[in-house]
Structure 1
Amino acid sequence: MTPIEASHMNKSNRLRAIIFDCDGVMFDSRQANINFYNHLLSRFDLPLMDPNEIDYVHMATGRDSVAHIFRKTPHFQEADAYRLQMDYTPFIKDMIIAPGLKDLLLKLQSEFILAVATNRSNTIDEVLGQNNLTGLFDMVVSSLDVKNPKPHPESVFKILSFFDLPAAQAIYIGDSSVDYETARDADVCFVAYGNDQLDAPFKVNTMMELEQVIQKFEGCWKADD
């Protein structure tokens, strides 16, 4: 590769957008999800979620989660309608914000486009608002903003299209196989957060480690490329 080719590659792949998943990255929301969906089940006098159901609702949309945990009952439509009118505020206290998240966003916001692509639906705005994060993101895409939620890449495509960015100038930070598939199918570089089992070119466990990846990012190249 000539110096001119290398220079062109670096310029065309300059990182411009950082896209975050919500649950499992920005927040440890596992207990909040457990409490929320168990509350929904108890409303209909049904048993609490088992471990497999807990794993499922951590990654799925609200509607898909309700469909899954009510799959053996006749109550899905009624339960989903109840979910949509529930006040999520009491459950936000069970969400633990990632240490260093807000400080990192404040550092990055003047240099990068910051966005969220999440399978949360009508709760994401309240979650961000209650944690004073709303004004730190340039765009938030929930499952209600797309026809095809994750793992379909539509949410990431929507962000790239809005800011007229090529995929090579963005990274997506997620914690699950759903997030991995989303990034892969959007052709966006994937950063695995808190999950070493995922096949990702970058793996981090803290916001400090994520900041180091962002600072040193020169493209999503594998060692044998």
Structure 2
Amino acid sequence: MTGIKVIALDCDGVMFETVNANTAYYNDILAHFGRPPMTPEQFAYTQMSTADEAIAHLFPEPESFAAAQARRKKTGYDAYIRYMEMDPDLLSLLEKYNGAYQMAVATNRSDTMRKVLAQHGIERYFDLVVTALDVARPKPFPDPLLKVMDHFAIRPDEMIYVGDSAVDAQAARAAGVPMVACRNPDLDGDFHIRRLNEIDDILMRLN
């Protein structure tokens, strides 16, 4: 190993706490069609999935799926970004690593990710943002992380990926990238952290 050059982060559950935002977003769509709020199982699925996958899960019938997709696109996510809570360690981490490492986002979000970064004033810290719209196959496939490696012309052992869900771990494994499991001790990861500032210790071990 020659050392870590790139740090890639998932968004939901890592950079931001999005429980309130995503719950309100999908429950509002469900309520529009007279359906009850999400169950815990449905919520867990939406947290790991693309928006298209989430709507398909919540509205499995073909006719209702089409209507729900139309409603989702009409509603947009902008009004819900304010409910997202930035991790308390994120800004200091980005400032500390600015110029020392290339920073990337690899997320299953779609057209909302860049708006989230802009509204929280942190877009300038990221050298690359890879969303579900930028790859043929989003997580759990390795495509987002392969795109990061291709962009920076690095090997798998020259980056780390920080995620919190099974799809993150599966993508990292498939790409051969060291996986840092964030706030999920049961997740299959090479490293486990409870706070983002613990990434420092991992980088010291790998560099």
TM-score range normalised by the length of the shorter chain = over 0.9
Contact kept? 1:117, 1:155, Cα under 8 Å: yes
Q: What SS does the corresponding residue of 1:75 show, helix, strand or coil?
A: helix
Partner in structure 1 of residue 17 of structure 2: 28
Q: Which amino acid aligns with 1:166?
A: R
Return 5+ residue gaps in structure 1 as ranges: 1-11, 219-225
Return the offset for 1:73: 6.8
Partner in structure 2 of residue 7 of structure 1: none
Structure-2-length-normalised TM-score: 0.96
Runs of 4+ in 1 over 6 A off after TM superposition: none
Partner in structure 2 of residue 49 of structure 1: 38
Match 1:85 to one of 71, 74, 80: 74
Return the offset for 1:113: 0.8
Partner in structure 1 of residue 115 of structure 2: 126
Q: Which amino acid aligns with 1:21?
A: D
> How do 1:158-177 and structure 2 match up within 5 A?
158-177=147-166
Aligned-partner Cα distance in 1 for 2:181–2:196 = 12
Root mean square deviation of aligned Cα: 1.2
Q: What SS does the corresponding residue of 1:74 show, helix, strand or coil?
A: helix
- Range moving further from structure 2, 74-83 or 154-163: 74-83
Q: What SS does the corresponding residue of 2:154 show, helix, strand or coil?
A: coil
Q: Does 1:151 align with 2:140?
A: yes
Match 2:83 to one of 69, 89, 94: 94
Q: What SS does the corresponding residue of 1:116 show, helix, strand or coil?
A: strand
Partner in structure 2 of residue 104 of structure 1: 93
Return 5+ residue gaps in structure 2 as ranges: none
Partner in structure 2 of residue 221 of structure 1: none
Return the offset for 1:90: 1.9
Q: What SS does the corresponding residue of 1:47 show, helix, strand or coil?
A: coil
User: % of aligned pairs identical?
Assistant: 37
Q: Does 1:194 align with 2:183?
A: yes
Contact kept? 1:180, 1:198, Cα under 8 Å: yes
Q: Does 1:214 align with 2:203?
A: yes
Aligned-partner Cα distance in 1 for 2:200–2:105 = 17
Structure-1-length-normalised TM-score: 0.88
**1:7-57 deviation per Cα after TM superposition (whole angstroms, max 9, x unaligned):** xxxxx4310000000000001101211110001111111111111000000
Q: Number of aligned pairs? A: 207
Partner in structure 2 of residue 71 of structure 1: 60
Aligned-partner Cα distance in 1 for 2:179–2:71 = 35
